[in-house]
Amino acid sequence: MFTVMKFFKKIFSSQEPLKIELKNADQAFNEHKKEEIKKADAKASEIRDKASQKVEGLKEVLEEISDFQDEKGRKAVNDIAENLVRDRKKVIENFSLTEDPEENLKRLKNFMLDFQDVKRKEAAVLEITSKEKEIGRYMKETQDLIEEFENFIENGYAPVKRNSEINRKITEIDRISEKIEDLEGEKEKIQLKPLKNEISDKRDELQIYRRSEEFSEYEGLKEQLEEKHKEKEKILNEIELAISKMQRGLKKLVYQSENSDLVLENSQIIKDLRDGRTEALLEHPSKVKKSLPQLEQKGEISDVQRKKLETGVKKLNDLSEKKIRIEEIEDEIDSLESRIENHPGPQKLEKLREDLEELEEDLEEEESKREDLNSEIDDLEEQVEKLKLETKEIFRAGFDREINFKA
CA geometry: angle at 344 spanning 342 and 349, to 5°? 130
- pLDDT, residue 18, reads 87
| pLDDT string in tens for the chain (407-residue length) | 444 445 444 444 456 888 888 889 889 888 888 999 899 889 899 999 999 998 898 888 777 777 666 656 676 767 777 777 777 788 888 989 998 999 999 999 998 888 777 666 566 666 656 666 777 788 888 899 999 989 988 888 888 889 999 999 999 999 999 999 999 999 999 999 999 999 999 999 999 999 999 999 999 999 999 999 999 999 999 888 888 888 888 888 888 888 888 888 888 888 888 888 888 888 888 888 888 888 888 888 888 888 888 888 888 888 889 889 999 999 999 999 999 999 999 999 999 999 999 999 999 999 999 999 999 999 999 999 999 999 999 889 888 889 888 86
Q: What is the pLDDT of residues 316-329, one digit of tens each?
A: 888 889 889 999 99
Q: How many CB atoms lie within 10 A of CB 309?
A: 25
pTM of the model: 0.61
Q: What is the pLDDT of residue 376?
A: 96
Spatial distance between the Cα atoms of 242 and 276, rounded to a whole number of angstroms: 10
**Would you call 332 helix, strand, or coil by DSSP?**
helix
Which of these, 232, 317, 246, 311, lies nearest to 279 by C-alpha position?
232
pLDDT in tens, 250-269: 888 888 888 888 888 888 88
Q: Rounded to an integer, what distance in angstroms lies between the CA atom of residue 239 and that of residue 154?
A: 108
Q: What is the pLDDT of residue 5?
A: 45
Q: Is 266 left (phi over 0), alpha (psi -120 to 50) or beta?
A: left
